[in-house]
Structure 1
């Protein structure tokens, strides 16, 4: 890992320094991260409630819950098995976001969750789903710039969410 990212510490400290020197950018980074972790579950619950009122407690509500939940559990088990260290554990960097627990960096569960919720919404509404998928990309960027994930962690989390989310369209 260090060979591939031999200048990671230098790169991160350079980027983090630019963000830290602009209080607006630092607040924006932290606010967006918090916003996404609060809003995405609300969006998901809204999707479930809306689907329930449109179709009743039927197959579609169960599909949205089952596919999302199984994906989350499988991804959580996978990341526990991989147990990849976080950037701040391997490098002498100070993350801009509050530090998460150690290890289990890969794949990003925040980004996976955002992308799987986005895919469920995409199934229900193309425009809402596309907007949420774009916001999920920004969440990945924020998690990298915040120093709590490597780029590959968020990319794998995003791709896993997209791939698992395709299952919504098969039912």
Structure 2
């Protein structure tokens, strides 16, 4: 991405404080919604499976352990990859302040926010009978990916990679293993 493209993408938010504030609020709202929804899913699974005596039956019906392990292991592996690659963020490359306050140096690729929401969306899809919550979370993930780019904290490649890796982690962890 060229500096001109980055400036054009972020300009509507950089030049309007209300838009910038809205982007920040939506970013936080989506992030916090997942911080609440995922633990609630784990609590519900734990008590449901304890009731049914399934908590130790990992490979057959023990969804609690899998719903905990798949995102956790994936998150750790992604964090190691990010640290090893240590890709610069747009605001570092182009010398412009991000719309979302951020001071982190490097560790831009892949986006951990986007990865997390997509692997959690896949978790909801895998463990609940109805796909509604999982689909809602994946849609929220798409909005979060856009927000992370237009706010200047990630390049498009960062969020696309985060999305793909989050979905693949869910597929591998819930459907192939």
Is the pair's TM-score, using the shorter chain for normalization, greater than 0.5? yes
Tell me, yes or no, if structure 1 residue 112 matches structure 2 residue 115: yes
Higher mean displacement: 106-115 or 121-130: 121-130
Tell me, yes or no, if structure 1 residue 137 matches structure 2 residue 137: no
Counterpart selection for 1:44 from 24, 38, 43: 38
Give the equivalent residue in structure 2 for 1:88. Answer: 91
Residue segments in structure 1 that go unaligned for 5+ positions in a row: none
Q: So what's the TM-score if we normalise by structure 2?
A: 0.87
How many pairs align? 165
2 CA distance for matches of 1:65 and 1:153?
A: 25
1 CA distance for matches of 2:103 and 2:115?
A: 16
1:1-171 paired onto structure 2 within 5 Å: 5=1, 8-56=2-50, 58=55, 59-123=62-126, 124=128, 125-166=130-171, 167-170=173-176
Residue segments in structure 2 that go unaligned for 5+ positions in a row: 56-61
Q: So what's the TM-score if we normalise by structure 1?
A: 0.90
Note the C-alpha offset of 1:109.
Answer: 0.5
Q: Deviations over 1:13-32 (max 9, x none)?
A: 22322223444322221011
Question: CA RMSD of the aligned region, Å?
Answer: 1.5
1 CA distance for matches of 2:136 and 2:150?
A: 21
2 CA distance for matches of 1:80 and 1:112?
A: 15
